[in-house]
Structure 1
């Protein structure tokens, strides 16, 4: 048994639970490498060369790079979907919630840009890889719920109903987020000034 497989022996898990736990451990450990390399430039062998795990170990737990990337993005999204919960729970005015949300919106673009890029890479692949569509659809649904939780609370604090649907809200804010990410990465808007302005415009329209 290699060093990379030892945590399973100590975990006390059995069968499918043990296998799933190991997949999650490996995907978490390779998440940064995946984000740095990006979808198009990765293979299980390249990921192994840039991580502490052998190609054989990765290939045993993941059928291909799509399987590994999907698991890694799912783990990242598990953290993301609760990002704004505290702001929703603690904000006492609509303006406070709007400010907190906007601050975190821009902050995660900066701090997790490589990981967000990986998500959009994966989402784009659903046009070619039917096997990924269910996973990506599930993540999209959770992201939609996350954004709607903020917007519905914002409207509640304003004492007015939302003027747009939950799906239109998500598509609008996701579009701002993706364009902001692209402009941050290509250096055309390093301060995310355009993204901030569009976010303010979107909230005014809501």
Structure 2
């Protein structure tokens, strides 16, 4: 392909991707409120002030849009934790940085995490979601592996099990914050500090 045509195609692709991201940011607000099971493309269009035609132009169907939304959010979630870990030196700082990043995300982004757990459950029944769920979980396992190594642990054999345990605690605490059994921030920090202290 000639260089000029290639550049034009790349610009067009970048513009399309940027528009998809803008649509996804609007759609996330509707999805956070309604959840996967209760949300149609029409609901998303109405709640995000977008036309149904616009959604169909950029996304094949509801599943395509939801997968995209959750993917871009979880990528940002992992980047935030990675950034926090970059500043940490030694076991105690790694535990503190990781715990703080997790608690901050529960308080700031609990509803989008709820959507993630929703589609992860749906992936047991709908193979459409399985590739993206596997991809996201691999990213999450990798960030646990990074923390494990930064804390000075040499044997990463138990990383996947530790991820599963951490994920279970995270989901439980996040679910409580949404319901009527919310805990204060200090209590959540203490819980994660204690858990990660056992890991590292």
TM over 0.5: yes
Equivalent pair of 1:176/1:195 in contact (CA under 8 Å): no
Higher helix share: 2
Give 2:163's aligned residue.
Answer: 170
Give 2:149's aligned residue.
Answer: 152
Distance (whole Å) between structure 2 residues aligned to residue 28 and residue 189 of structure 1: 27
What TM-score comes out, normalization by structure 2 length? 0.85
What is the 5 A alignment of 1:21-170? Answer: 21-154=18-151, 156=152, 160-162=153-155, 165-170=158-163
Equivalent pair of 2:84/2:97 in contact (CA under 8 Å): yes
For the structure 1 residues 40 and 193, does the alpha-carbon distance in structure 2 shift closer, same or farther, using more than 3 Å as the test? farther
What TM-score comes out, normalization by structure 1 length? 0.82
TM-superposition CA deviations, 1:17-44 (whole Å, max 9, x none): 5544433332223222211221121000
Deviates more, 1:23-32 or 1:120-129: 23-32
Equivalent pair of 2:89/2:150 in contact (CA under 8 Å): no
Equivalent pair of 2:45/2:51 in contact (CA under 8 Å): yes
Give 1:4's aligned residue.
Answer: none
**Alignment gaps of 5+ in structure 1:** 1-10
Equivalent pair of 2:100/2:189 in contact (CA under 8 Å): no
**Alignment gaps of 5+ in structure 2:** 1-8
Residues paired across the two proteins, number: 191
Distance (whole Å) between structure 1 residues aligned to residue 61 and residue 107 of structure 2: 30
Q: Higher relative CO (CA 8 A, sep ≥ 6), structure 1 or 2?
A: 2
Following TM superposition, the consecutive aligned residue runs of length 4 or more in structure 1 with deviations greater than 6 angstroms are: none
Distance (whole Å) between structure 1 residues aligned to residue 189 and residue 79 of structure 2: 21
